[in-house]
Amino acid sequence: MNDSPGWATPGSSPSDGEGSPGTQPPAGGSGTDSKWSAEQPPPGQWSSPTPGHTPPNPQQPPAPQPGAGWGSYGTGPQNGWGAHTQAVKPGVIPLRPLGLGEILDGAVSTMRKHWRAVLPITLIVAVVVQLASVLTQKYLFADLVVDASSSGPGKEELESFGSLVGVSALDGFIQLVGSIVATAMLTMIFSRAVLGHGSSIGAAWREARPQLLRLFGLTLLLGIGSAVLFTVLVLPGALAGQAALAILGGLAALGVILWLWIKFALASPALMLEQTTVRKAFVRSSKLVKGSWWRIFGITLLTGVITTLLSGLIVLPLTVVGGLVFGGGLEGMADGTGATSWGYLISTGIGGVIALTITMPVQAGVTVLLYVDQRIRREALDLELARAAGIENYGTATPPTGG
């Protein structure tokens, strides 16, 4: 790892068959678990294991020395990574295993402290995404031909449906590209915020750009893989005309897809911050999530619920106002004419821009901080982060003198 925002794996990753630098395998361990830290204390209990040692005041962490760079730490029994005396906080999170509140607070704190870099990125992406959505609804759905009197689809209806599918695909592609670019740049900003460093839009773009194509490929693989898995499990029942079998296959597919999405939830930050390949990013995520699937699922689900509720609180009032004022009221919304009026579309578009601008960095930040948390718990990444932040002698403890 270096002191730039892109973190390389400290030493070799567990998947490479080696542990973190400066760490020793836990005694009596076996398999891959012996290569990861088994001695990390739970959140809020980051204290020195040395008997009789009194940790210094947590409000007065060791002052970084100018030019200290990475710093150093010992590798003996008293000076290894297991001898932390306190959890310092150079940036938006303390350097120890994180609790749920600290992960959410870290994401929000980064938005607040580094808003000049965060908000313009999400605002631009949100405007582009909502503009594409508004134009699609205005010029496509308004021209969609639906003739309920005919017994079968006519030529015009088929052409309209084909146009709908094509333009909707283009709209989805624009949203996909926008979200990938935003996620990549936000990942770099959050990585700097963990170290207490500021960032800029230009710096975030330069650091994220080399991995953008790989991140795009990773995202497509997840989406295509999910679609293929769903099709394979549902198609036999559908072809056999067995609705119950098709439903059962669909439920099984959803369960497997959910499991895989959480298993690979940390692949994106691993890809960006370790500057690795797509395959290795999937492997890294699988290693980091192993044994913590339910915890990561719970935090991810809670974050989704919070951001969804927040988006609803922003979008719903503007949608109602747009429908009543510009959409011809309840009558216009019922017959569909109000949903394609400029006033209604602009009103809902503004709500969507505001909601995306606020929720996008929260979701990206939680994912990055979950990645950091898992590496702290399993690979003692806090040592690397402390040295990158310029904190000297972090993780060392002086053995108590006799007396």
Whether pLDDT at 240 is above 60: yes
Distances (CA, A) of 220 to 21, 166, 224, 346: 34, 18, 6, 30
For residues 375-383, give the mean pLDDT: 93
Lowest mean pLDDT among 23-32, 70-79, 301-310: 70-79
Query: Is residue 253 within 8 Å of 233, Cβ to Cβ?
Result: yes
What dihedral do alpha carbons 185, 191, 192, 195 form, nearest 10°?
170
Q: Is residue 64 part of a domain?
A: no
Q: How many domains does the chain have?
A: 1
What pLDDT, on the 0 to 100 scale, is given for residue 316? 92
Q: Is residue 375 part of a domain?
A: yes
As given in the structure block, the two tokens for residue 118 are 């965060």
Nearest to 81 by CA among 16, 11, 8, 5: 11
What pLDDT, on the 0 to 100 scale, is given for residue 333? 62
Q: Is residue 40 part of a domain?
A: no
Supply the range of the domain harboring residue 288: 109-386
Give the chain as a 3 state SS string. CCCCCCCCCCCCCHHHCCCCCCCCCCCCCCHHHHHCCCCCCCCCCCCCCCCCCCCCCCCCCCCCCCCCCCCCCCCCCCCCHHHCCCCCCCCCCCCCCCCHHHHHHHHHHHHHHCHHHHHHHHHHHHHHHHHHHHHHHHHCHHHCCCCCCCCCCCHHHHHHHHHHHHHHHHHHHHHHHHHHHHHHHHHHHHHHHHCCCCCCHHHHHHHHHHHHHHHHHHHHHHHHHHHHHHHHHHHHHHHCCCHHHHHHHHHHHHHHHHHHHHHCCCHHHHHHHCCCCHHHHHHHHHHHHCCCHHHHHHHHHHHHHHHHHHHHHHHHHHHHHHHHHCCCHHHHHHHCCHHHCHHHHHHHHHHHHHHHHHHHHHHHHHHHHHHHHHHHHHHCHHHHHHHHCCCCCCCCCCCCCCC
- If you search the block for the tokens 């403890």, which residue do you land on? 397
Q: Is residue 17 part of a domain?
A: no
The backbone torsions φ and ψ at residue 265, rounded to the nearest 5 degrees and listed phi first, read: -65, -25
pLDDT tens column, 259-315: 999 999 999 999 999 999 999 999 999 999 999 999 999 999 999 999 999 999 999
For residues 328-345, give the mean pLDDT: 69
Q: Is residue 46 part of a domain?
A: no
Confidence label for 135 from pLDDT (cuts 50, 70 and 90):
confident
Whether pLDDT at 16 is above 80: no
Q: Is residue 88 part of a domain?
A: no
As given in the structure block, the two tokens for residue 192 are 């700097």
Lowest mean pLDDT among 7-11, 40-44, 121-125, 201-205: 40-44
Q: Is residue 68 part of a domain?
A: no
CB atoms within 10 A of CB 313: 11
Query: Is residue 297 within 8 Å of 282, Cβ to Cβ?
Result: no
Q: Is residue 67 part of a domain?
A: no
For residues 94-101, give the mean pLDDT: 94
What pLDDT, on the 0 to 100 scale, is given for residue 161? 61
